[in-house]
Structure 1
Amino acid sequence: MTVLGVEGGIDFLLQFGGGYVYLSERPQDRSPVVELVGAEKAAALAKRIGTGGLRVPLGKPFIAAYLRANNWSINAIARRLHVTDVTVRKWLNDAEDRQLKLSL
């Protein structure tokens, strides 16, 4: 997400996640990607990821972790991502379980 930044990447995932987008190094003005990020960033994204059709992942566990790290409540995250608070808690707990333990 270096091209878009974290917040821009999250906006991209929320807008296009779960579907296909077409990336081009010479994007058209009518492109939904251009409408969201602008032509310059759309072209840079195509150079970084590759041109052509792309299935965009949902990225909800990542987004939930980012929002929680930015002091969002569990309920606010659940509403933003259209999932239950139970799902958000599971994602956050799963992410904690994957963290390396630094002490014994």
Structure 2
Amino acid sequence: MLTTLTLFRNEFQKVWWPAYRVLKEVVDKERPSPSQKELLKEWQSLGNELGLSDSKESAEFQKGQAEARKVAADFCAWVACRYNSEKSSSRMRVCAGCEEPLESWA
């Protein structure tokens, strides 16, 4: 049985890296206030206390994003298309404008 702390860590892990990345970007690219710098430091410390590291979580996040893009390529982005929720038996075409997969309009 999973402990409450393990359950918390598993859920926290999902949001830690995306939030850390945004905070780090603010601190690195803008003129951060002392409180923003402190928030980044504390957010990183909280993640570290729960066994998370920015390098590992970055890699996991990128892997998850790549997998999501791969799955999304099998479906049409047009909501009214039947292949929006059903996988097409043939390779989907891609919109040259938005690069979203599209069902053939023919």
Relative to the length of structure 2, the TM-score reads: 0.27
Query: Which one has more relative contact order, counting CA pairs under 8 Å at least 6 apart?
Result: 1
Relative to the length of structure 1, the TM-score reads: 0.27
**Greater CA radius of gyration, 1 or 2?**
2
